[in-house]
Amino acid sequence: MPATPPSAPDPSALHRLQASLARPAAVFAELCTGDAVAGDRAVAEALRTRPMDPGASTRALSIRFWRSLLASPDIRIGPLPALPSPLSQLGRLPPGLRVLALLKALSGLGEVELAALLGRTPAACRHALARIQALSGVTDDAWSAALASRAAAVSPARMGNIANGRSMPAALRQPGPAPARTGQRYALAAVVVVTALALAATYAWPGFGSRDGAPRIRTRALAEAAPKSRFDAATAIATHPDRALLEIDDADVAIARETAFYAWYQAERLGITHYEPPPPTFEAPEGVSSSTDTGSADAP
C-alpha cells in the first residue's frame, strides 16, 4: 500500500503559531540587542520563514523560527535598558549566558533543543544554566514569570510593526544601498574603466608621445675603454684594511686561520680561563690639583 504523503500544515494554525511567538521573540530580541526597532525587524524576518517539510510539527516550526531569529544579523549583544528586578540581574551575566537565560524562559524549549540551537552539548547547556542561577541568584520560575509579564506588555504598535514587516513583499523588504556604498561602487567602476582604457591605449597607440610614431626609447652608448683606476696595485695593498693578514707567509696561513683555537689552548695551558679586566684608572687633567693638594694649601 503506498505511503500517504504528508499533508501541508494548516495556514490558520501556522498563523496562530507565529502570533504566539511574536511577543516572546520581541522581548528576546529587545533584551539581547538593547534596540527594540532592530529587534522587531529581526522578529518580522524570522516570522517569514516557511517550513521545508510539509508535515513539520508545531515543535519543529518553533525550533526553526528560533534558529532563524538567532541567525539574523540584527541580533547582536547590546546594552540592556533599564529593567526592574529580577530582570535587572541580566546585567550580571556574560553575553552568552544572557542569550541562554532569555531563550530558556521565552522559547519553552528543553535543554537538548537549546543545546542544538546554540551548538553546544546538553551537558554544557546544563552547566551553563546552573552558572546562570549562581551568578544571578534568580530561579527559572522567576525568570519565566518576569519575562512573561514583559511579553504581555508589548505594545500593540510594536506588534503592528512586526505584522507589517512579516507581510511586506520581498521587493519592498530589501533596503536600498547606502549612499556611502553607492559612492564606493561608482569610484571603483571609474578606476576599472580608466585602467581598461590605459591598457587599451598601450596596444592601440604604441608610439604615443613620439613625432614619427616610433616608441620613445632612450639609449646611452657604453664607454669605449674601462675607467682608469685612481691608484695602482701597490697603493691598494698598502692602504688595505687587512694588510697585516694579506702579508702573512704561506706557511703561517694555516695557523692564522686557527687563531681562536690557539688562543683558547694557550689560556687553558696557563690556567687563565677566567679573565678579569684590571680596574680602570683615573688621571686628573693637567692644571687641576687633587683634593689632597687643595687641603694642604688651605691648612693654616
Pairwise CA distance, residues 106 & 84, whole Å: 17
Per-residue pLDDT 10s for the chain (300 aa) are 444 444 444 556 556 766 778 888 888 888 888 888 888 888 888 887 654 455 567 777 788 888 888 888 888 888 888 888 888 888 888 888 888 888 888 888 888 888 888 888 888 888 988 998 888 888 888 888 988 888 888 888 888 888 776 654 443 344 444 444 566 778 888 888 888 888 777 766 655 555 565 667 778 888 788 777 777 777 877 788 878 777 788 777 777 778 888 888 888 877 765 666 667 666 666 665 554 444 444 444
The cell for 70 is 538567532
Pairwise CA distance, residues 145 & 27, whole Å: 13
The cell for 261 is 683555537
Question: What is the CATH topology of the domain spanning 11-173?
Answer: Butyryl-CoA Dehydrogenase, subunit A; domain 3 (1.20.140)
CA distances from 103 to 118, 146, 157, 262 (A): 10, 13, 24, 80
The answer to whether the pTM exceeds 0.85 is no
Spell out the domain ranges in the chain.
11-173, 177-204, 239-270
Question: Is the separation of the CB atoms in 24 and 43 below 8 Å?
Answer: no
Please spell the DSSP secondary structure of 81-111, one letter per residue: ----TTGGGGGGS-HHHHHHHHHHHHH---H
Pairwise CA distance, residues 180 & 187, whole Å: 11
Residue partners of 6: CB distance under 8 A and separation at least 6? 53, 54, 55
Please spell the DSSP secondary structure of 131-185, one letter per residue: HHHHHH---HHHHHHHHHHHHHT--HHHHHHHHHHHHS-HHHHSPPPPHHHHHHH
Using CB atoms within 10 Å of the CB of residue 155, give its burial: 0 to 12 exposed, 13 to 18 middle, 19+ buried.
exposed
CA atoms within 13 A on the CB side of 175: 8
